Copies of this chain bind each other. A is one copy, B any other.
């Protein structure tokens, strides 16, 4: 294929991003408010000299953190990836860091091609939470039956309709319109059926740490599962009630939404073959 001189070549780049969500109104761009996506877009426009859309693997809510969020951007700028990382980190606030940039296939989409995501929720069990942890953990110094919570966590592994654990408003993965390249996987994601590969709660020192990995998550799903696990730890809900709660398919069956600050998007996995040479 020949290209005319006017034809602009757009590169598709995958960014890995870490952020402290405390001082942002979540991932998604909003007018007049500091958001992760909006801050990234501003900095990219400065560097690339053009509007650069930022397409995340999914939204995170206000106060939720990320150690490994992923997003793809399309730009005509020829800036090499290592230089882009440095330039972005120079301009971004320290609460957002670009960990890496990688050239990927033209059709790569950070949301549609995500194979799995790992979320972590941290509960601080000590009497007094140190100030340097309070943005990143839920302090919960009250009695909890942690063994019951560990058993209950295993019930979430498998393929289920997670509607009981979804926010009533929207679900995280349904925020965008279906595209022409819809596949069976994407159609499935528009339902509230998700597959959880691993759901493990364990004591790590003074923290109770919950790791959940799945092929996608509904809006508030992890926080609602954690709220339900805490109810189980308090003896308000029985371990064996989890299958019933899942079966009820209504939000009122499950526990409350745990606070945002304990939640971390740890990583997003993609197929091995997405990269391209530059």
A residues whose Cβ falls under 8 Å from a Cβ of B = 18-20, 65, 67, 89, 94-99, 128-132, 134-136, 139
Partner of A132, one of B128, B131, B135, B139: B135
Alpha-carbon distance between A270 and B24 when the two chains are bound, in angstroms: 42
Q: A18-B131, A65-B131, A97-B131 are in contact. List 10 more A-B contacts (CB 8 A).
A: A18-B128, A19-B131, A20-B131, A67-B130, A89-B128, A94-B129, A94-B134, A97-B128, A97-B130, A132-B136
Nearest CB of chain B from residue A67's CB, rounded to whole Å: 7
Could you tell me if B96 and A131 are in contact, using CB atoms closer than 8 angstroms?
yes
Nearest CB of chain B from residue A122's CB, rounded to whole Å: 11
Determine the residue in chain B with the shortest Cβ distance to A135: B132
Nearest 6 Cβ contacts at the A-B interface: A20-B131, A94-B134, A95-B131, A97-B128, A19-B131, A20-B132
What would 19 A/B residue contacts be, using CB atoms closer than 8 Å? A18-B130, A18-B131, A19-B131, A20-B132, A65-B131, A65-B132, A67-B130, A89-B128, A94-B129, A94-B131, A94-B134, A94-B139, A95-B131, A97-B128, A97-B131, A98-B128, A99-B128, A132-B135, A132-B136
Partner of A134, one of B95, B98, B99, B129: B95
Nearest CB of chain B from residue A115's CB, rounded to whole Å: 24
Chain B residues lying within 8 Å of A89, measured Cβ to Cβ, are 128
Chain B residues lying within 8 Å of A131, measured Cβ to Cβ, are 18-20, 65, 94-97
Determine the residue in chain B with the shortest Cβ distance to A66: B131
Chain B residues lying within 8 Å of A67, measured Cβ to Cβ, are 130
Indicate the member of A96, A129, A131 with the most B CB atoms within 10 Å. A131
Chain B residues lying within 8 Å of A99, measured Cβ to Cβ, are 128
Determine the residue in chain B with the shortest Cβ distance to A264: B132
Chain B residues lying within 8 Å of A97, measured Cβ to Cβ, are 128-131
Chain B residues lying within 8 Å of A139, measured Cβ to Cβ, are 94
Indicate the member of A65, A99, A132, A135 with the most B CB atoms within 10 Å. A132
Alpha-carbon distance between A131 and B94 when the two chains are bound, in angstroms: 6
Nearest CB of chain B from residue A177's CB, rounded to whole Å: 32
Determine the residue in chain B with the shortest Cβ distance to A134: B94
Chain B residues lying within 8 Å of A130, measured Cβ to Cβ, are 18, 67, 97
Alpha-carbon distance between A243 and B67 when the two chains are bound, in angstroms: 44
Alpha-carbon distance between A273 and B219 when the two chains are bound, in angstroms: 57
